[in-house]
Amino acid sequence: MKRIAAFILLAVLSVAGSIPASAEKENRSIGENSREARKAAKQQQKASKKIAKKQRKAAKKYQKQQRKAAKLQRRK
């Protein structure tokens, strides 16, 4: 039973290794690759802007809480 399982595993791995995994990427032209790079860079920039906006918003919220706490301390 173990021999059959090992043989099947070996056959599957040999077939998987013979099929080129990146056949589609090899046929792409240089322009397509640069387009994809620009698109990825734009997405990364958009994500970083979104994170920065969330951080600014959190900082403003924290500062507002601090001002409110200081105001309450002065009243007491």
**pLDDT tens string 1-54:** 777 887 687 777 776 666 665 555 566 676 778 889 999 999 999 999 999 999
The whole-model pTM stands at 0.51
Please report whether residue 74 resides in a domain.
yes
Q: How many domains does the chain have?
A: 1
Separation of alpha carbons 65 and 49, rounded Å: 24
Please report whether residue 24 resides in a domain.
no
Return phi, psi of residue 39, to 5°: -65, -45
Q: Which domain holds residue 75?
A: 40-76
Please report whether residue 16 resides in a domain.
no
Return phi, psi of residue 20, to 5°: -70, 125
Please report whether residue 9 resides in a domain.
no
Please report whether residue 26 resides in a domain.
no
Contact between 26 and 20 (Cβ < 8 Å): yes
Could you give the 3-state DSSP secondary structure of residue 40? Answer: helix
Residues in the chain: 76
pLDDT at 3: 79
